[in-house]
Structure 1
Amino acid sequence: MKFAPDVLVLLGGPLVATPALVAAAGRARLVIAADGGVRHAAALGVEPALWVGDFDSVNLEDLSRWAHLPRLEYPRDKDATDAELAAQAALKAKPARLLFAGGLGGELDHELGNLTLAVALARQGVRTALSSGPTWAFALTPPGLELDLAPGTPFSVVPLADLEGLSIKGGRWELEDARLPLGSGRTLRNEAVGPVAVGLADGYGLLVATALE
């Protein structure tokens, strides 16, 4: 699983520092920690340049360890999540690719919010992914995306709207110019036989893959 983000955003969800995630984190030119996500910095071998949030989920140890970091501090009663605030800060660097580490798992409402945020960013032209380490989710928008997945890697295309002109190449089951309505499970649990290319004419969704490392 290879992904080279311009900006890495550390979120507070579950995270395993897999080799693929550590390698991706090391490629980022800017690291932003969102609230309690700062706790993942050491495991990924990165130093945040900015710490954003309301700091309601940060323990005393991390407050002391990372006290030197520049902060953007917000009140707890706010109209945006810490992930959104970190994304707003990230967009100022004009990234082509953004990775949320620690954005999957944990509380369901926040996980869904993170996934839809990733799609919204992709629709603005920022290729966006989320990872817990073992699991990766890539925002899927037209014209599609290509991933260098190892043979045998499980992956799924999950529609978040009706998908038109969907093609899948490099999987055990391939598609060509297909229509996939919202709610369809037709493209769940495929298997890579090499690099995977997903084409899309209209709609948006997610490509979810499980790393084999």
Structure 2
Amino acid sequence: MSRFAILLAGPIAPNSELREALAGRRVIAADGGIEHVGALGLCPELWIGDFDSAPSELPSALRGLSIPRETFPRDKDRTDGELAIDAAKARGGRDLLLVGALGGRSDHAFSHLVIALREAEAGLTIELFDGIERALPLRPGWQDVPAAPGAQFSLLKFSDLKGLSIEGARFPLTRVDVPFASILTQSNEATGSIRIGVEGGRAVLLLQADPTRR
């Protein structure tokens, strides 16, 4: 099965929307991300990382179970999240959900967004979701994104954007070139499902979860 969830150490809201997104996915925990298994009712097939922020023992929900563990040195050139993503890909993962990748330390959240963009450009389907916010790397072309009416969203740019179009929003756009320094793409509001088209550039859609399901 190619659908995986990667548990990272950032905060989460273990609500019905997050549980639904996790349903049917194989699970790998990265370092302190193992702490989320109890709240989400999950059992990872692998626990990986340098374990500098992980508990010394498995959480009580996993006591008595044999969870394979891969340990890496603290001084390394890849994050624990990258190690977990590599492990998922080695097991056939092509559709990844990063849980606990947003919130918490800003530098960690930024690195997870960059990693998501990189992996999307390499051909993976990848999404970040913590039960509160959803982040989706945008690719050239059109993407349809389910959204609740009134949901707030922004496009976080990592370069100039060429030919940006937004439909299903309070502030639509049609083939607008948006420079990196512009904040035009911040704080929009969905009127229902969103449709976004981009002809060139790098950006991530940051969408607030459905407040009725938190």
TM-score (norm 1): 0.91
**Shift of residue 187, structure 1, vs aligned partner:** 1.4
How many angstroms does 1:135 deviate by?
A: 1.2
Name which of 37, 43, 50 aligns with 1:41.
37
Q: 1:197 to 1:27 in 2, by over 3 A?
A: farther
**Shift, 1:147, TM fit:** 1.0
- State yes or no: 1:59 paired with 2:70: no
Q: Which residue is 1:124 aligned to? A: 122
Q: Give distance in 1, aligned partners of 2:74 and 2:56.
A: 18
Tell me, yes or no, if the aligned pair for 2:162 and 2:199 is still in contact at 8 Å: yes
Determine helix, strand or coil for the equivalent of 2:123.
Answer: coil
Determine which of 7, 13, 22 is the counterpart of 2:10.
13
* 8 Å contact kept, 1:10–1:33: yes
Displacement of 1:63 in angstroms is: 6.2
Change (3 A) 1:63 1:98: same
Deviation at 1:127, TM superposition (A): 2.1
> What is the identity percentage for the equivalent residue pairs of Structure 1 and Structure 2?
40
Query: Which residue number in structure 2 is paired with residue 133 of structure 1?
Result: 131
When structure 1 is superposed on structure 2, of 59-68 and 202-211 the one drifting more is 59-68
Q: Aligned residue for 2:206?
A: 208
Distance 1:92 1:61, change over 3 A: closer
Q: Match of 1:190? A: 188
Q: Indicate which of 65, 68, 74 corresponds to 2:66.
A: 68
In the TM superposition, what whole-angstrom CA distance separates every residue of 1:84-128 from its partner, at most 9, and x where no partner exists? 101111122343421110001111211111110011111111121
TM-score, with structure 2 as normaliser: 0.91
Q: Which whole-Å CA distance do the structure 1 matches of 2:135 and 2:170 have between them?
A: 19
CA pair 87-144 structure 1, distance change in 2 beyond 3 A = farther
Pairs aligned (count): 208
CA RMSD for the aligned pairs? Answer: 1.7
Query: Would you say the 8 A contact 1:159–1:180 is kept in 2?
Result: no
CA distance in 1, matches of 2:142, 2:119: 14
- Deviating beyond 6 angstroms after TM superposition, the runs of 4 or more aligned structure 1 residues are none
| Corresponding residue SS for 2:118 | helix
Counterpart for residue 178 of structure 2:
180
Contact kept, 8 Å, 2:6 with 2:30, in 1: the verdict is: yes
| Higher deviation after alignment, 44-53 or 62-71 | 62-71
> In structure 2, how many angstroms separate the alpha carbons of the residues matched to 1:57 and 1:128?
24
Query: Post-superposition shift, 1:61?
Result: 4.3
State the SS of the aligned residue for 1:151: coil
User: Any unmatched runs of 5+ in structure 1?
Assistant: none
